[in-house]
Amino acid sequence: MNTLIPIDYYELIYYNVLLLIVVVIFMQSFKLEVQDVANLKGKNVFGILFLFFLILYIGLRPINYRFGDMLNYYNEFLEYQNGYPFDTSKDFVFEVFKYFFAKNLTAPLFFFTCALLYLLPLYFGAKKIFNDYWFYAFLMLAISFSFWGYGVNGIRNGIASSLFILAISKDKWISKYMLFLLIIFIHKSLIIPILVYFLVSKYSNTKVYLYFWFLTIPLSLAMGGFWENLFLSAGFNDDKLSLYIGGVDQASEGVTLKIGFRWDFLLYSATGIFAAWFFIIKKKFNDKTYSLICNIYIVANGFWILVIRASYSNRFSYLSWFLLGLVIIYPLLKNKFYENQHRKIGIIIILYFGFTYLLNVILAK
């Protein structure tokens, strides 16, 4: 499929647009206070434009092997168009969605709708949780290390994780649980953060979960593949999850995958652990929703550490990483901790994106 943008530069252009946006936001953070009415009005308008940019750029991308699993989805789409029977072995809701589009609409419209389902729940979730400050939370999600990959490659997982953020923003338990059920039938690996949600809803002691996280590191180092086999034998033996835990390496993940203990990924994850400790334990920030998000992140990330040597470790880690931007920025949008707090937010945004740019652009070369 042809595009006005050369396919070899499609992702590079995206990250450099983000770089420009992040630099502008960083510079503006030194001019106005975050709660300033002019700042919030400007960020709201800019946020809407940014959302439309993401929808159009991700949703209208060409169908190309450079986007990993997108080509697999397209081949399955063509099979349905050519009369292939409905595949009952896959995640039911997403398969119905794909089957309907294949029989009635077009592949470009299918992928555009996938982009909407990926991005709009993040927008509505951020608006619900952060109100006038939603742009900063949405930006942190959009500049996360895995955000691009799960919009164009791990599409089902990306949609399911976005709906999870929307679900935890809901006040009514009926709508929350209905979304959880929908999520499981879109990508069943999300059952892990969903189960963790119910655990931390009943027991919310963040300090205990932090102890658990630190304990998983020596357990993973000492016991090697034991945890991978345990998960596969304990009911997590879905074909897709089995591939993530025990499958072979593949080059379509956006970064070079290395089998082994990923100290770089562990350090990246530790930024969320530090944020949770700093705000909840040290600063005594008492916010029920924040504690919930942090505790889900800590426990789900701990499970990933146990299987960190898996060849698809990055996909397993995404079951916590999709919350990382919120874990880091949430308290600064809800409470005043510092003088010139807007500057602190600007610095955090540029440092957070710095890791994304380093791995996905500089080191990717």
Instruction: Give pLDDT tens digits for 109-128.
Output: 999 999 999 999 999 999 99
Q: Residue 325: is its pLDDT beyond 80?
A: yes
Tokens 């710095």, residue?
354
Nearest of 340, 125, 294, 97 to residue 142 by alpha carbon: 125
Tens digits of residue pLDDT in 204-254: 999 999 999 999 999 888 876 666 666 655 444 444 444 444 444 444 444
Q: CB count, 10 Å around CB of 231?
A: 21
Average pLDDT over all residues of the chain: 89
Alpha helices in 131-253 (DSSP H): 134-142, 147-152, 155-169, 173-184, 191-202, 206-223, 226-233, 239-246
* pLDDT value at 107 more than 60: yes
How does residue 90 score in pLDDT terms, banded at 50, 70 and 90?
confident
pLDDT tens for 260-302 read 677 788 999 999 999 999 999 999 999 999 999 999 999 999 9
So where are the chain's domains? 1-186+339-358, 189-334
Which pLDDT belongs to residue 249?
41
pLDDT score at 278? 97
Comparing C-alpha atoms, which of 240, 262, 244, 263 is closest to residue 253? 244
- CA–CA separation, 364 and 356 (whole Å): 11
Considering only CA atoms, give the Rg of the chain: 20
For the entire predicted model, the pTM comes to 0.91
Token pair of 59, please?
């949703």
Question: Does residue 154 carry a pLDDT above 50?
Answer: yes
Question: 211: left (phi > 0), else alpha (psi -120 to 50), else beta?
Answer: alpha
Whether the per-residue pLDDT at 21 is higher than 60: the answer is: yes
Q: Kindly indicate the confidence band of residue 89, based on its pLDDT and cuts at 50, 70 and 90.
A: confident
Residue with tokens 């290395």: 258
Q: What's the pLDDT score for residue 246?
A: 45
Task: Determine the residue type at 55.
Answer: I
Measuring CA to CA, which residue among 134, 192, 126 is closest to residue 162? 126
CA 56 to chain centre: 19
Answer yes or no: is pLDDT of 360 > 80. yes
Closest by CA to 145, choosing from 345, 320, 332, is 320
| 12-34: average pLDDT | 95
Sequence-ordered list of residues with C-beta below 8 angstroms from that of 118, at least 6 positions apart, any chain:
58, 150, 151, 155, 158, 159, 162
Q: What is the pLDDT of residue 221?
A: 85
- Mean pLDDT on 298-317: 81
Tell me the mean pLDDT in the region 312-328.
87
What percent of the chain lies above the pLDDT cut of 70?
87
Q: DSSP string of 300-312? A: HHHHHHHTTTSTT
Q: What is residue 265's predicted lDDT score, i.e. its pLDDT?
A: 86
What pLDDT is stored for residue 6 in this prediction?
Answer: 84
Burial class of residue 349, CB neighbours in 10 A (0-12, 13-18, 19+):
buried
